[in-house]
Structure formats: structure tokens, C-alpha cells
Amino acid sequence: MLPTVARTALLLAVLLAATVAQQFQQLQPLQSSSQRELLLLVQDIQNQLQQQGFQGFQQDGLQVQLSQPVILERRVVSVDPPREQQVQPQLQAQRVAVPVQAVQAAQQARQRPAANSTGKPQFVDPGVGRWVLQSDPSCLPCICEAASGCDEAIGCDDRGFCGPFLLSKRYWTLAGKPLLKGDSVDRPAASSDCLRDSFCAAEAVRGYLDRFAQDCDGDRRVDCLDLARVHFQGPFNCRAPLQPPTDFSETFRRCWDASRQNSQNRRR
């Protein structure tokens, strides 16, 4: 055991060293040589106390615990503020702009061609042509009237057109080759004999117009005027307007308009 005076002196030295060390921790970085020497002295005192085994002692009921060696470090303070996190803005979905011209072109491609268009004919379903001829009783007689005045006594001309409808052998073939009762398609005169007969020739017209019926004038319906164009101008040229001065167009228009007027008068 150390004498009381020695222990008191030792205690004061320890407390002094601890106080000085705490103050040095709060100082700015050391600049002078005298300050560095004082720091080394304090560290030596602490090391010597630890080597002598004085880890702690009790004085008047007070427990004193030596702190760990104080190491003064040069603190480097950054002048730059903390880097803030950058929030990336969300990319908005870009709207795809479709040119108006492209939309119009797509719509025009689906629309029915105009009356004078050179587009391919759009034939309607089978049966429509026959239904139009049946629902309009004046249609077939007016076509016959415009062709030859519906002359049943007419034969075949030098161009090969025969009968009251002035039909050719090609027209008869495309119409399905209708025949007189008991006749055969293999007989050479079968076509001309059918076309000179008003009933057989009318059946040829029905078959031809039912096969090639279409909307020739672009009004989105098929009527007798469309069938007259198909009959007179052919299925691939019916979009050309059926206008005067042709005898067929004038006669057909006069006959058809008069028949429709008579039908309206009878309904009143």
C-alpha cells in the first residue's frame, strides 16, 4: 500500500491527465510544437500509470475508473455538404401520333369505289340480281324495250346479236347456257335458238345479271338502274354513267321512269 500522501498525489495526477485529455479532444488540430509536447507528456503519464497496475482504487467510498488511453486524432471536416439524392423523374409514356393522312387513306381503302372509279367490280351475293328483277316488274321489260323495242320476230344480225334482247353467244355462255326444252348445249345452234325465244332469252338475262350484279353508281344499293348498266356496258365497265345520247340509255330511262310513276299512282 502506498502512503496516503502518495495516493492523493497520484489521484490528482490522474484526474489532471484525464481533464487535459478531454480538453484536447475538443481543440482544433494542433499547430505548435509546444502543444504537441504537452500532448506527449499526458500520454506518457497515462501509460506509466497503467504499467504500475493502477487500474482503479477507492477513496472515501468513491470508485474511480481510469479511462482508456486518450488518442487525439486530427478530425477532417468536409466543406462540401452531403450529397443529396437525386430523384429521377418518371418518364411519361409518349403518345403515338398517327398522321391524319394515314387514317384517311386506310378509310378510303375500305370504302366502295366511286361511280366513275377504275376499281375492280364488287359483285354482290348470288340471288340478289334475280331478287331485284323480281321485285321490280318493270326492270326486265324496260331492258328489252331499250334493246330492240322488245321485237320477238327479230333474228340475229351480222354482228351475232340475237333475239329481242340482242344477246351474243358469249353473253349466253356467261349466263349459264340456258336451253329450250329438250335442247343440248352441244348443238351448234342451241345458243341462237334460245336467244331468239323471248322466254329463254329472258332467262339468260336473269342468269347474267344475277352473276354480275353490283353497285355501279356508288349509291350503296343495287337496283334496276345498276342492272341496266351491267347489261348494256358489261360487268367491268358499268361504273361509267349511263347517259344519253345512246338509244339504249334514253329508251330505258323513259320506260323505267314511266313505269315507276304508274306504280306510284296505283298505290295512291
Q: Is residue 71 predicted with pLDDT exceeding 50?
A: no
Residue 262: inside a domain, yes or no? yes
For 227, what's the count of Cα atoms within 13 Å in the CB-facing half-sphere?
28
Q: With b meaning 16 or more CB within 10 Å and e meaning fewer, what string describes 4-15? A: eeeeeeeeeebe
Distance from the Cα of residue 60 to its chain's centroid: 94
Residue 260: inside a domain, yes or no? yes
**pLDDT at residue 263, as a whole number:** 77
Shared domain for 142 and 209, answered yes or no, is yes
Residue 97: inside a domain, yes or no? no
Shared domain for 131 and 27, answered yes or no, is no
Residue 54: inside a domain, yes or no? yes
**pLDDT at residue 166, as a whole number:** 96
Q: Is residue 75 predicted with pLDDT exceeding 50?
A: no
Residue 223: inside a domain, yes or no? yes
Is residue 25 within 8 Å of 72, Cβ to Cβ?
yes
Shared domain for 59 and 131, answered yes or no, is no
**Residue 164 has what DSSP assignment?**
T
Shared domain for 52 and 177, answered yes or no, is no
DSSP string, 52-121: TT-SEEEETTEEEEPPPPP--------SSPPPPPPPPPPPPPPPPPPPHHHHHHHHHHHSPPPTT--SPP
Closest to 38 measured CA to CA, from 11, 16, 53, 55: 16
The x, y and z cell numbers of residue 67, run together, are 479511462
Residue 59: inside a domain, yes or no? yes
Q: Which tens digits make up the pLDDT trace of 156-166?
A: 999 999 999 99
Q: Which residues, other chains included, contact 74 with Cβ-Cβ below 8 Å and sequence gap of 6+?
A: 29, 30
The x, y and z cell numbers of residue 161, run together, are 346479236
Residue range(s) defining the domain that contains residue 59:
6-65
Q: Cell numbers 320506260 label which residue? A: 255
Residue 74: inside a domain, yes or no? no
pLDDT confidence band for 48 (50 / 70 / 90) = low
CA angle 140, 143, 146 (to 5 degrees): 150
pTM listed for this prediction: 0.55
Q: Which tens digits make up the pLDDT trace of 126-182?
A: 999 999 999 999 999 999 999 999 999 999 999 999 999 999 999 999 999 999 999
Give the residue, 243 or 53, on which the prediction is more confident: 243
Shared domain for 127 and 252, answered yes or no, is yes
Residue 93: inside a domain, yes or no? no
Task: Report, as an integer, the average pLDDT of 106-123.
Answer: 52
Shared domain for 46 and 172, answered yes or no, is no
Shared domain for 169 and 236, answered yes or no, is yes
Shared domain for 141 and 242, answered yes or no, is yes
Task: Give the C-alpha distances (Å, rounded to integers) separating 214 from 42, 118, 170, 187, 222.
Answer: 116, 14, 20, 33, 6
Is residue 194 within 8 Å of 183, Cβ to Cβ?
yes
Shared domain for 139 and 241, answered yes or no, is yes
Shared domain for 17 and 142, answered yes or no, is no
Separation CA 264–CA 268 (nearest Å) = 7
Shared domain for 250 and 174, answered yes or no, is yes
Q: Is residue 265 predicted with pLDDT exceeding 80?
A: no
Shared domain for 30 and 162, answered yes or no, is no
Range of weakest confidence among 43-52, 98-107, 112-121, 205-214: 98-107
Q: Compute the 3-state secondary structure of the chain and give helix, strand, coil in percent, each to the nearest 5.
A: 50, 5, 45
**pLDDT at residue 260, as a whole number:** 85
**pLDDT at residue 183, as a whole number:** 96
Task: Give the C-alpha distances (Å, rounded to integers) separating 26 from 30, 73, 78, 108, 147.
Answer: 11, 10, 17, 86, 123
Give the residue, 239 or 163, on which the prediction is more confident: 163
CATH number (domain holding residue 190): 1.10.530.10
Task: Report, as an integer, the average pLDDT of 5-26.
Answer: 57
**pLDDT at residue 142, as a whole number:** 96
Closest to 252 measured CA to CA, from 224, 233, 218: 224
**pLDDT at residue 262, as a whole number:** 83
What is the count of structural domains for the chain?
2
Q: How does the average pLDDT of the chain come out, rounded?
A: 74
